[in-house]
Chain A
Amino acid sequence: MKISFNWLKDYVALNQRAEETARLLTSAGLEVKGVESFLGLKDKVMEIEITSNRPDWLSHVGVAREIAAVSGGKLVYPEWQNLEKKGKAAFVRDRKKILPIEIQDTQYCPYYSACLLENVVFGESPDFIKKRLNAVGMRPINLIVDVTNYVLLELGQPLHAFDWDHLSQEKILVRRAREKESLRAINGTDYPLNTRDLLITDGARPIALAGVMGGLESEVSLKTKNILLESAYFSPAVIRRTSQRLGLSSDSSYRFERGVDPVGVDTGRERAIRLICQYAKSVGNVSVVFKGGRLPKKTGTIQFPLGEIRRILGVDIPSQKVSQYFRALGLSVKPAKKGTVTVGVPSFRQDLTRPVDLVEEAARLYGYDRITETLPDIEPVYIEESCLRKTEEMARETALGSGLNETVTFSLISEKVFEKLAVPLLAVTRVVNPQNKELTLMRPSLFPSLLEVVKTNFYHSSSNDVRLFEIANVYGPEVNQALPKEELTFAVAVAGARNSHWLEKGRKYTFFDVKGVFEEIFERLGIQEIKFVPYENPFLEQAFSMECQGMALGVLGKVSNPVKSFYDISSDAFIGQISLEKIAHAARFERRYKLLPKYPASRRDMALILGENVPAGEVIDHVRSLGFEFMRAIDLLDFYRGGQIPTGKKSLAFSIEYRSDEKTLTAEEVNDLHAKVVESVTRHFSAQLRS
């Protein structure tokens, strides 16, 4: 909201520079975003951000009141009464005119008042009004419209002026709109209404969308002679609902939805009448006030235990000081039973209802910067890190160590890739009001997001080396509107090739670069017996499910061609993801030390020529299954195809470790044992030994 310094000076003395006033207000909670000078107007204007709990600040008088409170000044309230005593008042109210005010729903509209001003001759506003409106960014139109705006900005009460000759003149009926009813507002737009909107009607036709905007037809212009001036109190929630639904916010609705000062409804109306009478060329009859309904409770009291200050703030403020602050804010303070005061709350502070609200007021005026910093004095709290957190950190560390770069991508994704792959999305959660129309899906997998990042990097980067991982939730469906499952998931994507180094040649990434990351994570989490089981996945062409004791933990594989072409990825890409939640259950973090072997181990190599279709894993499993006590480990050394190896065959070389816990095995013992292993393997797999 814009506040003019010249205008403020009508209500409070400004003894300090504009910047100092801005600082004072900011430290009181009215954040001044900036101060602007208007050279032509010889004025300065502040842009103030006003929090939604303080509608009383949405006016010049309201801001002046705060300045008076924090600087110890005095507030001068504008003249608003229209006294009727002959000789002293400008006019005598016309009592002959009667306008019934009927309110159909007093929850929606607790109070409505109006006053008829007849034969008003008017033109432009006086200079001071025009200047002030201009300074705060409002265009002057004519005296009547300007006065309603002026009072809104001065006192915070929204008013509306109707051209009386466009009304039926029989009554004012405030009612809820009917289904499919509509109103053409002053801005020329037709607004479709429903039964939760509130209308002002002249008994026959709607003339205003209550509290939000007047109707175009009854708008006041320079041709208007007779004016009906409205001042009312509408339900804040009703005004907000309508304004939000129609996307139509006005200075008026902004104040009504935050709650206007009930006292200001009558004050504001009278202030406007006074200004019109003062600045119009002439005014004929001014009617009595036509009213309907009742204003909500205007004032309140709070029993305030002064000890709350110490308890909540941790600082002692003398009670005299506290009372002084409250009075400066326009509250009344009376002593009640011991340690408690009765605080009277004026109508413009509807936000103050509880002792804690007063604690804040006391703290604000005392000054937050004066509160001494302390550290909490309580017993230590025992903290146990969750398995999921530990698992997450272990996975992240492993991925980083494997040279993968961490990404953070949006949880909301487009459905397009699923459409392209003809994958039906049945068990998913969707957003109904997306910010970006495409991003509607709470992702059920991290694959689309990571592939998007692969695409971005191939597009931007000179490098062909893309290695990524992400740790984030994937989301299940909302079964019967229940909250969906959120599962912390770890995903990897590797594409392109490792760059060459002068000592190490570069090479293309393979399936095994991704597999190795998962193997290492499993090892570090103490999860054994992981099986890689062939599996169907719409994104992958060589897909494997990673399983532990029958439980599927995740998938990995090579990105299929349709998916690659969807993401414009030309080189091979490999991708995998696992549920961290699932592996956290199986994880084992503690490590027991095992005695180091006393006697040395011996290794023997075994190079085999086998059928193409014999998996290396089966050879290893077979060797282990032989159950030789001294056979301690078997590692794959080499895998080779082509060259001297006949077609349909491949070569696998293993290194096998032999060791006894009781003695140093002799070369002969090792050779004998190894011969048995080799013999068994060659027989079982019809393999040949390579020399």
Chain B
Amino acid sequence: MKDPSETLSSDAIKNVLDELEAQSSHRIEKVSDNVQLETLRIEYLGRKARLSLVLSSLGSLDKEERGSAGERANRLRRQIEEAIRQKAESLKGSAKKEGVDFTLPGVRRERGVTHPITATIREIARIFETLNFEWVAGREIETEFYNFTALNIPDDHPSRDSFDTFFTQGGNLLRSQTSTVQIRVMEKRKPPLRIIAPGRVYRPDTVDASHSFMFHQIEGLMVDDRTTFADLKGVIHLFLRALFGKDSKIRFRPHFFPFTEPSVEVDVSCFICRAKGCSVCGQKGWLEVMGAGSVDPAVFQAVGYDPKKVQGFAFGLGVERICMLKHGINDIRLFYENDLRFLKQFA
């Protein structure tokens, strides 16, 4: 049985609803902590709240009034509920802001670092792969034939001076240049050929900041029935622009290699000083970066190709040199020491 005193009249209902409509959202908005919000929630939505009283008093109204007042009361209730929910959300957010130190370091799955030599080889290989060159691997321990004879480097000849070589007990040798791969590939395959061959090479040099007895080279070879010296220039220039920047200029200087003719040394305009002259390029504006040339007919003969029918070019570059230039590394020995403080700089 309901206590009649707890039933509101039609006018009273209207007053309550008017008042709630006018104040509730404003009061909820002004709340600054959860305790105040809970007090308001009880005041507006609790069992003894005036809105509950309104709803329970609706039965005493006539049918028409009941419909419109009920609708209004229910809409108001939903509005208050939503306002309180939103306020609670925003209070939660500000609590977080106050409680957490966002300057703490994030959690990282620390990835390992690729060795700068590997990274440089990959970068160079990727450029040539876009030009349809194939990455091939070659042996490191070789015979006299592949390292010298087939490459037109005769015994007892001064052209061997640049190729001091380690020999093994079994009378083999450690390749002193990756050009050996040219011979290995041409022996096995017929033109057209476009290959690059990265790998380790060995020369008994005294070790210092710019020399090591082991280092890396990338050999390139392109052989078919029409590739010319002008094509070599085009390919090398594209490559060096991709490596050192689009404005790079190249210079071909006549040189001598036993396995190419004409032979050239390739200079690229110094990317550090923009060819104005600096300590890295020795004030010359040019950096010597690779050797190249048209394949010597004697090399074709050594692998059983007809030098009248095939032609092409070969090139070779020192990976350490390129890597040192690109990163400003001043001591080649750092590459083989593998100090993590060095390696992690290339992450």
Which residues on A are within 8 Å of B, measured CB to CB?
Answer: 26-29, 31, 51-54, 236-238, 240-241, 257-258, 311-315, 354, 356-357, 359-360, 363-364, 368-369, 371-381, 383, 385-386, 388-389, 396, 399-412, 429-436, 439, 442, 453, 456-457, 460-461, 463, 466-469, 472-473, 475, 478, 481-484, 486, 488, 501-504
**In the complex, B39 has a CB within 8 A of chain A:** no
| Given A373-B234, A484-B141, A501-B105; A312-B311 close (CB under 8 Å) | yes
B297 on the A face (CB < 8 A): yes
Given contacts A374-B231, A374-B234, A431-B168, contact A240 B158 (CB under 8 A): yes
The docked-state distance in angstroms from the alpha carbon of A666 to that of B139 is: 62
12 further contact pairs, Cβ within 8 A, besides A258-B158, A401-B112, A434-B204:
A31-B255, A237-B157, A312-B294, A356-B261, A369-B252, A383-B134, A403-B112, A408-B115, A408-B118, A442-B141, A472-B200, A488-B137
- In the complex, what distance in Å separates the CA atom of A29 from the CA atom of B105? 58
Q: Is the CB of B112 within 8 A of A406?
A: yes
Contacts of B224 in A (CB 8 A): 376, 378
The answer to whether B228 and A313 have CB atoms under 8 Å apart is yes
A238 CA to B296 CA, complexed, in Å: 26
Q: Mark B190-208, 1 if CB is under 8 A from A, else 0.
A: 0011100000101011110
Known A27-B254, A240-B158, A433-B166; judge A311-B115 contact (CB<8 A). no
B340 pairs with A405, CB closer than 8 A: yes
Q: How far is the CA of A202 from the CA of B230 in the complex (A)?
A: 57
Report Cα–Cα, A311/B113, bound state, in Å: 47
The smallest beta-carbon distance between B216 and chain A, in angstroms, is 8
**A457–B169 CB distance below 8 A:** no
**How far, in Å, is A249 (CB) from chain B's closest CB?**
10
In the complex, the answer to whether B113 meets A483 with C-beta atoms within 8 Å is no
A623–B253 Cα distance when bound, in Å, is 72
Q: Across the interface, do B256 and A408 meet the contact criterion of CB distance under 8 Å? A: no
Q: Find out whether the CB atom of A381 lies under 8 angstroms from the CB atom of B343.
A: no
Asked whether A483 and B339 contact (CB < 8 A) given A363-B262, A396-B114, the answer is no
B234 proximity list for chain A (CB < 8 A): 373-376
Distance between Cα atoms of A45 and B204 in the complex (Å): 32
CB-CB under 8 A for A503 and B254, given A312-B228, A368-B264, A435-B207: no
In chain B, what residue has the closest Cβ to A364? B254
B216-243 interface (Cβ within 8 A of A):
222, 224, 226-231, 233-235, 237-238
Given contacts A429-B170, A504-B107, contact A411 B204 (CB under 8 A): no
Q: Assess whether A409 is in contact with B338, with CB atoms less than 8 Å apart.
A: yes
Interface-central residue, B109, B134, B222, B335, by most chain A CB under 10 Å: B134
Output the least CB separation between A240 and chain B (Å): 5
- Contacting A at CB under 8 A, from B63-111, are 104-105, 107, 109-111
Whether A503 lies near B107 (C-beta < 8 A) is: yes
Closest to A360 in B: B262
Contact A373 B230 (CB under 8 A): yes
Q: In this assembly, does B341 line the interface, its C-beta being within 8 Å of a C-beta of chain A?
A: yes
A contact residues around B205 at 8 Å (CB): 435
Complex Cα gap A441–B43 (Å) = 89
Within 233-281 of B, Cβ neighbours of A (below 8 Å) are at: 233-235, 237-238, 251-256, 261-265
* Partner pick for A478 among B111, B135, B168, B336, CB 8 A cutoff: B168
Chain A residues lying within 8 Å of B115, measured Cβ to Cβ, are 405-408
Q: Jot down 27 A-B pairs with beta carbons below 8 A, ordered by A.
A: A52-B158, A236-B157, A240-B156, A313-B228, A356-B294, A359-B262, A363-B254, A363-B262, A378-B192, A380-B132, A381-B194, A396-B114, A405-B112, A406-B113, A408-B118, A408-B338, A411-B214, A431-B167, A435-B204, A435-B213, A439-B213, A457-B339, A466-B340, A473-B140, A475-B141, A483-B172, A502-B104
| Known contacts A376-B231, A409-B336, A483-B139, A403 near B111 by CB under 8 Å | yes
Q: Chain B 320-345, CB within 8 Å of chain A: the 1/0 string?
A: 00000000000000011111110110
Which of A257, A311, A404, A432 makes the CB contact (< 8 A) with B228? A311
**Contact B339–A461 (Cβ < 8 Å):** yes
Q: Are A257 and B204 in contact (CB under 8 A)?
A: no
Chain A residues near B104 (CB, 8 Å)?
502
Most chain B beta-carbon neighbours within 10 Å: one of A468, A469, A483, A486: A483
- Chain B CB within 10 Å — which of A237, A314, A473 has the most? A314
Give the complex CA separation of A497 and B117 in angstroms: 27
| Cβ–Cβ contact A483 & B229, under 8 A | no
Chain B nearest CB from A525 CB (Å) reads 18
**Which chain A residues lie closer than 8 Å to B172 at the CB level?**
429, 478, 481, 483-484
Closest 10 CB pairs of A and B: A314-B228, A29-B254, A478-B170, A314-B230, A51-B256, A237-B156, A368-B252, A360-B262, A373-B234, A52-B158
Q: Kindly supply a per-residue 1/0 record for chain B positions 117-129, scoring 1 wherever the CB is within 8 Å of any chain A CB and 0 otherwise.
A: 1100000000000
Complex Cα distance A463/B341, Å? 10
| B161 at the A interface (CB under 8 A) | yes
Q: Of all chain B residues, which has the CB nearest A393?
A: B122
> A489 → chain B, closest Cβ, in Å?
13
Q: Which residue of B lies closest to A53 (CB)?
A: B256
Interface size bucket, B side? Answer: 35 or more
Q: Is A383 in contact with B112, judged by CB distance below 8 angstroms?
A: no
Nearest A-chain residue to B286, judged by Cβ: A26
* CB within 8 Å for A53 and B159 given contacts A369-B252, A411-B200, A435-B205: yes
The interface residues of chain A lying within 8 Å CB-to-CB of B339 are 456-457, 460-461
Q: How far is the CB of A250 from chain B (nearest CB, A)?
A: 14
Q: Which residue of A lies closest to B238 (CB)?
A: A375
Specify which chain B residues have a CB less than 8 angstroms from the CB of A482 in the assembled complex. Answer: 170
A402 / chain B contacts, CB cutoff of 8 Å: 112
Closest to A356 in B: B261
B118 touches A354 (CB 8 A): no
* Least Cβ–Cβ distance between A592 and chain B, in angstroms: 28
B253 in contact with A31 (CB, 8 Å): yes
Determine the chain A residues whose CB is within 8 A of the CB of B252 once the complex forms.
368-369, 371
Q: Which residues of B contact A364 (CB under 8 A)?
A: 254, 262
A52 and B231 form a contact (CB under 8 A): no
Find chain B residues with CB under 8 A from A467 CB: 112
Q: Which residue of A26, A315, A389, A461 contacts B253 across the interface (Cβ within 8 Å)?
A: A26
Which residue on chain B has the smallest CB distance to residue A499? B110
Centre residue among A240, A311, A374, A435 by max chain B CB count within 10 A: A435
The answer to whether A54 and B111 touch across the interface, beta carbons within 8 angstroms, is no
- A372: nearest chain-B partner, CB-CB: B230
On whether the beta carbons of A442 and B168 are closer than 8 Å, the reply is yes
CB distance from A407 to the nearest CB of B (A): 4
Q: Would B229 and A314 count as touching, CB distance under 8 A?
A: yes
Among candidates B192, B254, B343, residue contacting A360 with C-beta atoms closer than 8 Å: B254
User: Cβ of B335: which chain A residues have Cβ within 8 Å of it?
Assistant: 408
Residues B264 and A376 in contact, CB atoms below 8 Å apart: no
CA distance A507 to B280 in the complex (A): 45
> In the complex, A478→B142 CA distance in Å?
11
B143 within 8 A of A: yes
The answer to whether B166 and A434 touch across the interface, beta carbons within 8 angstroms, is yes
At the interface, yes or no: B4 with Cβ under 8 Å from chain A? Answer: no
CB proximity of B213 to chain A, nearest CB, Å: 4
Residue numbers in B under 8 Å from A501 (CB-CB): 105, 107
Which residues of the other chain, B, contact A238 by a CB distance below 8 angstroms?
156
Known A-B contacts A377-B226, A408-B118, A483-B172; A54 and B256 likewise in contact (beta carbons under 8 Å) = yes
B174 part of interface (Cβ distance < 8 Å): yes
The distance in angstroms between the C-alpha atoms of A357 and B294, with both chains bound, is 11
Instruction: Say which residue of A237, A400, A478 sits within 8 Å of B112 (CB atoms).
Output: A400
Instruction: Report if B304 contacts A (CB, 8 A).
Output: no
Kindly provide the distance from the CB of A546 to the nearest chain B CB, expressed in whole angstroms.
21
**A410 and B254 in contact, given A433-B166, A468-B338 (Cβ under 8 angstroms):** no
Q: Which of A376, A389, A469, A486 has the most CB of B within 10 A?
A: A376
**Given A52-B158, A434-B204; A368-B170 close (CB under 8 Å):** no
Q: Contact: B174 with A403, CB < 8 Å?
A: no
Q: A357 near B261 (CB under 8 angstroms)?
A: yes
Q: List chain A residues, Cβ under 8 A from B170.
A: 429, 478, 481-482, 484
Q: Cβ of B132 and Cβ of A381 under 8 Å apart? A: yes
Partner of A461, one of B171, B194, B341: B341
